[in-house]
Amino acid sequence: MIESRCGLICSECDYKEKMNCAGCIKISKPFWGEECPVKSCCENKELANCGECEEFPCELLKSFAYDETQGDDGKRIEQCKKWNLN
């Protein structure tokens, strides 16, 4: 069961409860802005998550995953790979 487009595990995210966020798959826009470019890109391509994309892992996804303050050191990229093993 995937939890996000980018590979984040929303159920383990501290902000989910704090910000009353339903999780990436269930929301139309994130609590932190008007649009998440990764979510929009993935959904516009009608993919379940970035791991299904021919361009995976693209520069945009990497910029999110390795962001100094908001990133997770590439963990979400590895999660996308796991979701797409089958």
Q: Which residues bind ligand SF4 (CB under 6 A)?
A: 4-6, 8, 24, 30, 36, 38-39, 41-42, 45, 47, 50, 53, 55-58, 60-61, 64
Residue 26 CB, shortest distance to ligand SF4, in Å, is 10
What is the DSSP code string of 16-50? HHHTT---TTT-SS-TTSS--HHHHHHHHTT-SSG
Q: What is the CA radius of gyration of the chain?
A: 12
Task: Give whichever of 50 and 83 is closer to ligand SF4, judged by the CB atom.
Answer: 50
